[in-house]
């Protein structure tokens, strides 16, 4: 499942400016319409409760770097550089999370181990 059952293109088009958390009726947002354009948004709709909980965990640690994004503006889903995720990266992340455990183990075997400064290297 992606963000609130949105298509991948819609999920990466959600921007911070369209999330309103201070409404008296509860948190709301304007969802991107199905043409996958960040400027084409629908009416305010309530945020599902599980998504509110996920946002409460994600927003404090969200990476934002000007000019691509700030704490209150820019794409909701960003990379470590503060730029919005592209469709290919987002789809790859979804596939990695949804992969069966055996497939994840094979991927981990192919990746080189991370190097940690200050730790001794392999013997030999």
- Report the alpha-carbon distance of residue 120 to residue 123 in Å, rounded: 8
Say what the pTM is: 0.65
Q: pLDDT averaged over the chain? A: 77
- Report the alpha-carbon distance of residue 57 to residue 115 in Å, rounded: 29
Closest CA to 31 of 53, 49, 5: 5
Residue 116 lies in a domain: no
Of the pLDDT bands very low, low, confident and very high (cuts 50, 70, 90), residue 38 is low
Q: How many CA atoms lie within 13 A of 64 on its CB side?
A: 16
Opening angle at CA 41, ends 35 and 44, nearest 5: 140
> 34: domain range?
3-100
Residue 106 lies in a domain: no
Q: Which of 28-32, 81-85, 110-114 has the lowest mean pLDDT?
A: 110-114
Residue 23 lies in a domain: yes
Residue 115 lies in a domain: no
Q: Which of 66-70, 75-79, 113-117 has the lowest mean pLDDT?
A: 113-117
Q: How many CA atoms lie within 13 A of 95 on its CB side?
A: 8
Residue 114 lies in a domain: no
Average pLDDT value for residue range 88-99 = 82
Overall number of domains in the chain: 1
Is the pLDDT at 1 greater than 50? The verdict is: no
- Report the alpha-carbon distance of residue 99 to residue 92 in Å, rounded: 10
pLDDT tens digits, residue range 101-119?
Answer: 776 666 666 666 656 555 5
Residue 14 lies in a domain: yes
Average pLDDT value for residue range 66-86 = 87
Average pLDDT value for residue range 89-105 = 77
Of the pLDDT bands very low, low, confident and very high (cuts 50, 70, 90), residue 72 is confident
Is the pLDDT at 15 greater than 70? The verdict is: yes
- Report the alpha-carbon distance of residue 110 to residue 103 in Å, rounded: 11
Residue 120 lies in a domain: no
Residue 76 lies in a domain: yes
Tokens of 120: 């001794």
């Amino acid at each position: 499942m992606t963000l609130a059952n949105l298509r991948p293109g819609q999920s990466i088009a959600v921007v911070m400016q369209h999330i309103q958390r201070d409404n008296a009726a509860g948190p709301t947002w304007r969802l991107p319409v199905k043409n996958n354009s960040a400027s084409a948004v629908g009416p305010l709709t309530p945020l599902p409760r599980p998504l509110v909980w996920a946002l409460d965990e994600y927003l404090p640690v969200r990476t934002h770097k000007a000019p691509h994004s700030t704490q209150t503006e820019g794409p909701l889903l960003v990379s470590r550089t503060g730029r919005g995720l592209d469709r290919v990266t987002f789809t790859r992340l979804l596939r990695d999370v949804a992969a069966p455990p055996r497939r994840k183990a094979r991927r981990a075997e192919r990746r080189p181990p991370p190097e940690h400064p200050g730790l001794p290297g392999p013997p030999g």
